[in-house]
Structure 1
C-alpha cells in the first residue's frame, strides 16, 4: 500500500509565509534558497534532523515543479532515487504517487544495473511535494527572492575565511539570520534564456533569475571560482496534433515497481498506466538545423552543455547523417500535451515547428510552448567539502545544478545530503559523509568535490566501481539504518521497517545455507536445473539460487516450512545469491588497483580505440592527457574508478599478449638456429 495520502493543500497553507513580516521568527537554524528538487529535499532533511528551517522560493506554487522532462529515475538515476528514499527523502514517494508509466530499464542485463523509471503526472508530483513540505514540522516556507548572503570574516587575522550569518531579502531591508544556508539556485544563478536570436534574463520560462547580488557575493566577497554552463528543453506539443499511429508504441511494465521501500504498489493501477511512443529524426530535421544555425545564438556559444542529453542541434552537428531517437511522452493523465524527449532545441519558434513537421508522426504538430536554452552560473565543486559545505565559508552549503550537475535525481541526492549537514552544523553536530563504496550518493559527491566538472555531470552505473553491491534492491539495508543511527534523518517508523527487513533477510539466508544436499539429490527434487553430473560436492540453497532457472519459489515449494515465511523477499534473495560471488570478486579487483598504481601505461596506447567498456568521455580524457602510470590516471578529472578497472585489465591483457608474441618470436628464432646447426657441423674445416 502507499505509505501516506496527500493532504489537501488548503489544509496546510498555514505553514506558508507570503512576506517576511509574517515570519514567526527572524532567526532560523537553516535557510534553504530555492524550491526545486535540491531545495525541497534539503529543507525537508534539515527539518528531519531537528533544525528550525526556512525555505525561501520565488513562487510557492512552483515548488516541486518538473521544469523539464516529466519523468524520474533511469539507469544510475533510479539508484539515486532509491537511496534518497532509503534516507527518508521525498522524491521516491512522490514518484510513486504521481507515476503514470512505470518501467525497469536495462532489464536484459543484471539487476545491479536495472534502472527504475517512471513517467510522471506533473500536477500530481507538484501537489505531493508541496503537501509534504507544508506539513513538515519545523519547516516554514517563504515566498520571496534573496538579494544577497550575509557573511562575516571568522578571523580578521586570517583573510579569506568567512562565516555565513543569514540572508537579505530583495525589495526591502528584511534580514533573516541563520547558522547555515543552503543554496539550491538551479539554473537561476545569473540565468539567461535563449530562443533564436532573442536573449532574456531568467532561469525558467516565466521566472526571473536570482538576484545579481547573490552571484556577486559568491564571486567577489567569497572569492569562489564560478563558471558557466548551459542546458535546454524541448517544445511541448499538443497531443491531438500528433499521429501516434506512425510511432512505435512502448507499453509500461504490467506490474509497476514502486520507488519507495515503504510502498508495495503505486497509486496508478496497472490498467491506468499510459504508453510512450518512439519515433526517429529524418534527413529533413538535419536540413532544418543546418539552415537555421545563423538564427541560433545559443548553439553558437562555447559554453559547455550536457554531453548525455544534448540538443538536437548538437546531435546533428556532432553526428551528421544519423537518425536519432525521439520519445513522445505523456505529461499527465489528463494533460493534452506531449513531451518530445530528445528534441531539446533553441532555434526560433517558427523554425522549431518546421523541424517538428519533418518527423512523420509530427507532420501536423502544433506547439503549445516552444523550446528554449538556459545559461547559468555554477560554482566549481572542488571548492566544497564532502559535506557539500564551501571550504572557506562556515555554514554555507551548495546543492544541485549550482554544483555543475544535471538532472532531478542528482539534485535531489545533493539536496538531501547538504540539508542533513546544514542541519547538523546548525545544531553543533559533526558533519557526516557517505563513501563511494556504500552508495551512489557517495560516488556523486566524491566525483564532484574530488574531480570537479567541465560539463554538466550526469550519474551512470559505470561511475560506481562497486555497482554490484550498490543495487537498487538493497539501498534500504545500506542506508536506512545508518540514516537513523548515525545521521538522524530517518523516522523511527521507517527504521523499524528496515530492521524487520534486515532480520528477515538474514534469517532467510541462514535457512537457505542450511539446506545442503548433493547435486543428485537436488536434481531428484527439482528436475533438470543445469547441475553438472560430475559435481560431487554438496550444494546449499544459496548455491542453487545462482542458477538462472532456479527461483526462490521453487525451493520454497520443496521446503515450505523452512522458506515459506520469506516469500515477500523472494526476488531480493535471488538477487543476493546471484551477486554474492561477484561482490567478493569486485572487492579483490579494487585491492589489485591499489597495488598496481605504479604500473606504467604505454605512451603509444591508442586510447580512442579501446573497448566500449570504457566510455567515449573517458577515452577522450585519457587520449588528451596520456598519463604515465595507472596512479596518474586515477587522479584525472572525469576518470572513474570503474574505468580504471577496465583500463588495468586491458593493459595487463595486452601486455600478456605482447609477451606471448615475443616468446613465440624467440622460439621461432631458436628453432631456426637449431635447424642450421647440423649443417654447420657437417662442414669440413681446413686442417
Structure 2
C-alpha cells in the first residue's frame, strides 16, 4: 500500500510563511467582500472590465447559495434579471440552468409589466455560480473573514474624504488554489494572526452578515444565516466610527423547510408551470429543464387557527417585538396577522430542487419557537401532518443609509469604497445582483483610472433602483416593482439587450464580444423586420380579404401597414408571415418580440419625448460644493436641509427627493442657469 510522504513540520510552516507573505504583497485592483448574489456579480463584472479581482468570502462552498426562497425573478425583479443578463451578468444564465418551474407572472397585463420567474434547484444554481466564478479570468477567490477596511486619513486639501487602500483579514483564510489546506492549517496553528491585502477599490456586499443576529423564539445568537457567523465587529466599527457613516438596522426572516412526504398536496391547488419555459438569458433559446420535466407548485391559505397560534405566541417571540423595520412586501406571518387580522393569506408550496425532499412554504416566514412553528403549520389542512426539517428564523443586520452613496454606488466620503446589496437597505436576490454588477463595473473602472458610469432611470430598472436608493434612501427593505419606473412602456423585459448590451460593450466595457455580436445581429434583424412590416401595405378592404378572421376596424380607412395590423390583439406575426412569406418568413424567430414592439411603438414614441426632456434635466450638474444655506433664492429651510444632506449630483436627481417641491426645483434651475451664464460671461471677458 502506497502512502503519501508528509514533509517535516518545519518545512511545512516555511512553505506556509512564504505563501502568506506572497498574499500580503499582492495588490489587487478590486477586492469584493462577500460571496452572495451582489458579491458574485460584482466580482465577475470587475473581472470582465479588466480588473485584477479578489473575492473574499467566509465559505467558498456557500458561494451562490440561495439563502431564502429558491426562486429568481418575478414582477419588477424579472426585469432586473434580464438587465443583469444583458450586461453579461451571471444570474440569468444560472437561473436557466437551475430552473425547475418557469412562469411569466402578470400575463393578464401588458408585456411591459410581465414578470419572468423560475423556481430553482438550490444545488444546481450554486454549482453553476461556483463553476462560473472559478473559471473567470483575472478573478481569485479567498476563503476568510475580513476584520477591517484599510483606509487613509482625510487629505488636508480634501477634508472629510478618506481613501480605501485594502482590507485586513482575520481568522483562517484559504484560496481556491492547490495550497488550500496549507493556508487553512497555517491559520489554525497561528494565534489570532491577521493579513493585510491592498487594493485600489473595495466592494462591500455583506448581505445580512454585517453585525447579524439570528432570532428564534426568545433565543438570539450571532449570525447572518443559519450555520454561518456574522462579519466581524471591526467592519461595522470601521464604517460607523472611522468613516462616520450613518447606519441603521433592518430585519428579515425565512420560513421553516417542510419534509415533502409529509405534505398533503390534494388539499392544495395545483399551479403548473408554463408549457414552454421562457429563458432569462438572451443567449439561451431554451432552458436546461425540458418542458415535461418541470415540477408544479401548489397554493393554499392560512385560516383562523393560524391567527390564533400567532397571537398566543407573541410573548415568546422577541423578534416580532422589536421595532426594527422588516420587509413590507414579504413580511413574516406574524406581521401579516397583526396587520391584517382575520384575513386569509396565500401560502405557496414550492419545490426546493429536482431531487430534493423539501418544500419551501413561501408566505410563512416566522420566528416563533420551533414547537409553535409546527403547531401553526398543522393548522393548515395541506400541512396537517407536516414535519419540519429546519425551523424558520429571523435575522437582524446593519445597513448603511444609501443616500451617502453616489450614482456609481461609491461612498461619497470615501474614495474607492463601493457598497451593493442588502448593506444598502434592499431585499431580494435580484436587487442585490443588479447593484453588485454596477458596483463591480464602477470599482473596476475607478481602479483602472477610468471614469465611473451612471445608469439613468430613463434607460433601465437598474437605474431606477440605484436612483431611488441614493436620492430617497430607505426606511424599510427596498423591493423593486414595475410601478417604480416612470417609463415602463420602454423598459420592458424583452428589449433589455437592445437597451443595455450595446452600451455595456461600447461604453462600459463589461460585455463580451460574443454577446455584443449577438445583440447587434438581433438589433439589425429586428430593424429589418420592422422595415419589412412597414413596407407591407394594403387598403383596409384588402386587409379584410387577406385576414378574414381578423376584425379590422371599419373606422380606419385608406392604407394600413403590416406594422399597424400587428397592433391588433388578434393578429400575430405568424399570421402575417404566412400571408406574406416572401418578405416576412425570415424573421419568424423574432415573432413575439416584433408583436410586443408593434403594440408599444405608439406609446414609446410619446414616451421618448418625455425621456429626452428628463435626460436634459438630469444632465444638468449641481456643484458638489454648493452652499444651499446661502443660496439667494426662495427655498425653505426644510428644502435647504434636504439638499445639503443628500447633495444630489444633478437637477434630475433633486426632483425625486422626498420633500423637494416643484417650485423649489424651478428656483434651483433658474439659479444654476443664471450661474452658468454668468460664468460664461466671465470666461469671455
Shorter-chain TM band: 0.7 to 0.9
State the partner residue of 1:148: 148
- CA gap of 1:182–1:633, structure 2 versus 1, over 3 A, is closer
Write the distance in 1 (CA, Å) between the matches of 2:99 and 2:219.
36
CA contact 1:189–1:376 (8 Å) conserved in 2: yes
Question: Is 1:277 matched with 2:326?
Answer: no
State the partner residue of 1:49: 49
Secondary structure of residue in 2 paired with 1:170: strand
CA contact 1:452–1:637 (8 Å) conserved in 2: no
CA contact 2:458–2:611 (8 Å) conserved in 1: no
Question: Is 1:199 matched with 2:220?
Answer: yes
State the partner residue of 1:468: 489
- CA gap of 1:590–1:42, structure 2 versus 1, over 3 A, is closer
Runs of 5+ in structure 1 lacking a partner?
1-18, 596-630, 642-687
1:322 corresponds to which of 343, 365, 371? 343
State the partner residue of 2:175: none
What is the CA RMSD across the aligned residues, in angstroms? 2.1
State the shift of 1:160 in Å: 1.6
Question: Is 1:109 matched with 2:126?
Answer: no
1:558-573 matches, within 5 Å, as: 558-573=579-594
State the partner residue of 1:87: 87
Write the distance in 2 (CA, Å) between the matches of 1:56 and 1:84.
22
State the shift of 1:82 in Å: 0.3
CA contact 2:24–2:195 (8 Å) conserved in 1: no
Write the distance in 2 (CA, Å) between the matches of 1:94 and 1:533.
49
Aligned length: 589
- CA gap of 1:353–1:384, structure 2 versus 1, over 3 A, is same
Q: Which moved more, 1:252-261 or 1:168-177?
A: 168-177
State the shift of 1:561 in Å: 1.1
2:359 corresponds to which of 338, 347, 363? 338
1:603-682 matches, within 5 Å, as: 635-637=656-658
State the partner residue of 1:410: 431
State the shift of 1:582 in Å: 1.6
Superposed CA offset, 1:340-389 (max 9, x none): 00000000000100000000000010100000000000000000010000
Question: Is 1:209 matched with 2:214?
Answer: no
State the partner residue of 1:165: 165
CA contact 2:467–2:653 (8 Å) conserved in 1: no
Write the distance in 1 (CA, Å) between the matches of 2:654 and 2:48.
40
- CA gap of 1:573–1:247, structure 2 versus 1, over 3 A, is same
CA contact 1:464–1:640 (8 Å) conserved in 2: no
State the shift of 1:532 in Å: 2.5
Secondary structure of residue in 1 paired with 2:560: coil
State the partner residue of 2:316: 295
Write the distance in 2 (CA, Å) between the matches of 1:473 and 1:367.
40
Question: Is 1:37 matched with 2:37?
Answer: yes
State the shift of 1:529 in Å: 1.8
State the shift of 1:593 in Å: 9.6
1:261 corresponds to which of 282, 296, 300? 282
State the shift of 1:637 in Å: 3.7
State the partner residue of 1:538: 559
State the shift of 1:531 in Å: 1.8
Write the distance in 2 (CA, Å) between the matches of 1:144 and 1:523.
70
- CA gap of 1:287–1:95, structure 2 versus 1, over 3 A, is same
State the partner residue of 1:457: 478
Write the distance in 2 (CA, Å) between the matches of 1:197 and 1:638.
40
State the partner residue of 1:626: none
User: Scaled by the length of structure 2, what TM-score is found?
Assistant: 0.84
CA contact 2:329–2:479 (8 Å) conserved in 1: yes
CA contact 2:205–2:436 (8 Å) conserved in 1: yes
Question: Is 1:379 matched with 2:379?
Answer: no
Write the distance in 2 (CA, Å) between the matches of 1:206 and 1:36.
15
State the shift of 1:559 in Å: 1.1
Question: Is 1:237 matched with 2:258?
Answer: yes
CA contact 2:165–2:199 (8 Å) conserved in 1: yes
CA contact 2:24–2:197 (8 Å) conserved in 1: no
Write the distance in 2 (CA, Å) between the matches of 1:203 and 1:251.
34
Secondary structure of residue in 1 paired with 2:273: coil
Write the distance in 1 (CA, Å) between the matches of 2:456 and 2:157.
35
State the shift of 1:533 in Å: 2.6
State the partner residue of 2:634: none
Moved over 3 A (4+): 19-25, 585-595, 631-641
State the shift of 1:584 in Å: 2.6
User: Scaled by the length of structure 1, what TM-score is found?
Assistant: 0.83
State the shift of 1:640 in Å: 14
1:521-600 matches, within 5 Å, as: 521-587=542-608
Write the distance in 1 (CA, Å) between the matches of 2:492 and 2:209.
34
State the partner residue of 2:456: 435
CA contact 1:184–1:398 (8 Å) conserved in 2: yes
Superposed CA offset, 1:106-154 (max 9, x none): 0111000000000000000000000000000000000000000000034
State the shift of 1:24 in Å: 9.2
